[in-house]
Amino acid sequence: MRIEASTRDEPAACPGCEVSARRVHSRYERRLSDTEITGREVVIRLRVRRLFCDNNACSRRTFAEALPALAARHARRTTTLQRLQCAVALAPGGRAGARLTRHPAVRRLVFDPLTAT
Ligand SMILES: [Zn+2]
């Protein structure tokens, strides 16, 4: 299942100086794996902005808007999926965890969520 989304055209704080910016440099797409919906794998195609920082005292010229509630910077999966995968990988521990990760669906979920079909 694919979800296409984009961020709102609201000001975003520069991570370097925290001054609010709204002048758009460019847009690009991030692909994020998310938790399943009704048993189907979910990929979010999220269009995000790169903004200019107009603060002359700041060393950054541009920055990508952050979405900390959804995913960490450069992450390829949502924070929710990351927490779920960590719970699956760590909770059973030892041999039980090793057996669990041999199951194809769990292997895809834990090790390679974006290439799963
Ligand atoms: Zn700045």
Which range scores top for mean pLDDT: 64-68, 88-92, 96-100? 64-68
C-alpha to C-alpha distances, 51 to 28, 47, 54, 114, nearest whole angstrom: 11, 13, 9, 27
Please give the distance, rounded to the nearest whole angstrom, from the Cα atom of residue 65 to the centre of ligand 1. Answer: 12
Distance of alpha carbon 63 from alpha carbon 83, whole angstroms? 26
Q: In the chain, which residue ranges form alpha helices assigned H by DSSP? A: 79-90, 94-102, 104-111
Please give the distance, rounded to the nearest whole angstrom, from the Cα atom of residue 102 to the centre of ligand 1. Answer: 46
pLDDT in tens, 40-60: 889 999 999 999 999 999 999
In this structure, which residues have their CB less than 5 angstroms from ion ligand 1? 14, 16-17, 53, 55, 58, 60
The model carries a pTM of 0.70
